[in-house]
Every structure is written in structure tokens, then in C-alpha cells.
């Protein structure tokens, strides 16, 4: 065989590849899968803990007492912390992990809804709930009603901005953070479901 013909035939041969079922490829694929599975829940957990910690720091160190709607907006972050921690524990390809991240997305959407309502109350676009108004109501007739009136009088009103930065209140920042984390959670849940479906189809093929 002439040298030019041999070179042309060699160029048409497929390049050597690493088999998918080889030990090296298996370990690399497993590491990449675990890294992806751990990164998003860890990011959600860290961001939720940081936001919740910042809210408590502003309250106890900054002296800005939260109103009732501010307190309500903290609960979704506590739920997200628990769900993302469970997702980290179930990081080894569990079917529950995408569902947990989807629930995180739902919790952040609830937080965004509360933040939007609170922002509208602060801007006087609409009225808050009856519990948002401090010091309202008639005379107390029982000790329980008196305690409730005292607690309501001491609690800040929801339509008054207790703390802001660059003209944006905590409700405004919470709205942005909640929408961003909801998008991340739902995107990650959908991507994980897609990868699992593709993996099942590949194994069946």
C-alpha cells in the first residue's frame, strides 16, 4: 500500500475514545453527577440561611423590629433550609431530590407573593390586613384581649418602612431574592428530572 493511501485510510479511522463503562469514565461521571447534585441544594441552603441570618441581624443588632408581614416572610426560608438540607442528604441520584427542589421553588414563590403584598402595603397601593395595623380596635374586655392590644401596639405597622438601603425596603430585596431562588430551584429540579429521564432511556436502549 502506498504511503498516501495508508495515510488517507488512517485519517478515516475513528479516534480512540474512553468507553463509558470503563472504570475511569465511571468515576469521572459519578463525580460530576454528585457535584451537580450537591451544588444547587448547597447554594439554596447557604443563601436561605444567609438571608434569614441577615433578617435577624437587622432586628437584634440594628434595632429594626419586624412587622407581622416581615415575620411571615421568614417562614418560607426556614422551609427551604429544611428541604435543601434533605436534598443534600439524598444527593446520590434519589428521585426525591428534584421534588424537594421543586418544593423549595414553591416556598420561594410564596415568599415572593408575601413580599409583593408587603411592598404594595408599604407604597400604599392597597391596605394591609387587620392584623397589620398597630394599636387598632376597641376597648379590651378580657385579660387576653388586653394582652393582644398591648402586643399590637408595640408591633410596627406594616405600611411603615422600618429599614431600607438605596431606597429599597427589606420587602423589595426579599422579592428579588425570592424570585431568583425560585428560578434556580425550579430550573434545577427540571434539569435533574430531564437527566434522570435521559439516563433511563439510555439504559433501556
DSSP 50-63: HHHHHHHHHHHTT-
User: What sign has the CA pseudo-torsion 28, 32, 34, 35?
Assistant: positive
| H-only helix segments in the chain | 3-12, 23-60, 68-72, 75-89, 96-122, 143-154, 170-204
Non-local CB neighbours of 61 within 8 Å, separated by 6+ positions: none
pLDDT in tens, the chain (205 residues): 444 454 445 445 444 443 444 443 444 444 444 445 568 999 999 999 999 999 999 999 988 889 999 999 999 999 999 999 999 888 666 788 999 999 999 999 999 999 999 999 999 999 888 777 655 455 556 766 556 555 555 678 898 888 788 989 999 999 999 999 999 999 999 998 765 555 454 444 5
User: What sign has the CA pseudo-torsion 173, 178, 183, 185?
Assistant: positive
d(CA 73, CA 7): 69
DSSP 138: S
Q: How far is CA 74 from the centre of its chain?
A: 12
Amino acid at each position: 500500500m502506498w504511503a498516501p493511501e495508508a495515510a488517507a485510510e488512517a485519517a478515516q479511522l475513528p479516534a480512540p475514545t474512553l468507553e463509558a463503562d470503563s472504570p475511569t469514565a465511571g468515576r469521572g461521571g459519578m463525580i460530576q453527577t454528585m457535584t451537580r447534585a450537591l451544588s444547587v441544594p448547597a447554594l439554596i441552603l447557604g443563601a436561605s440561611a444567609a438571608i434569614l441570618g441577615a433578617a435577624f441581624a437587622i432586628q437584634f443588632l440594628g434595632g429594626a423590629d419586624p412587622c407581622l408581614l416581615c415575620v411571615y416572610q421568614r417562614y418560607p426560608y426556614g422551609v427551604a433550609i429544611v428541604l435543601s438540607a434533605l436534598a443534600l442528604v439524598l444527593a446520590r441520584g434519589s428521585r426525591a431530590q428534584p421534588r424537594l427542589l421543586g418544593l423549595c421553588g414553591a416556598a420561594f414563590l410564596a415568599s415572593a407573593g408575601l413580599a409583593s403584598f408587603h411592598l404594595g402595603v408599604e407604597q400604599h397601593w392597597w391596605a394591609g390586613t387587620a392584623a397589620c395595623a398597630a394599636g387598632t380596635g376597641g376597648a379590651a374586655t378580657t385579660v387576653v384581649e388586653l394582652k393582644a392590644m398591648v402586643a399590637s401596639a408595640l408591633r410596627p405597622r406594616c405600611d411603615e418602612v422600618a429599614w431600607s438601603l438605596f431606597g429599597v425596603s427589606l420587602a423589595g430585596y426579599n422579592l428579588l431574592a425570592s424570585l431568583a431562588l425560585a428560578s434556580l430551584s425550579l430550573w434545577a429540579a427540571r434539569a435533574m428530572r430531564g437527566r434522570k429521564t435521559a439516563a433511563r432511556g439510555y439504559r433501556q436502549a
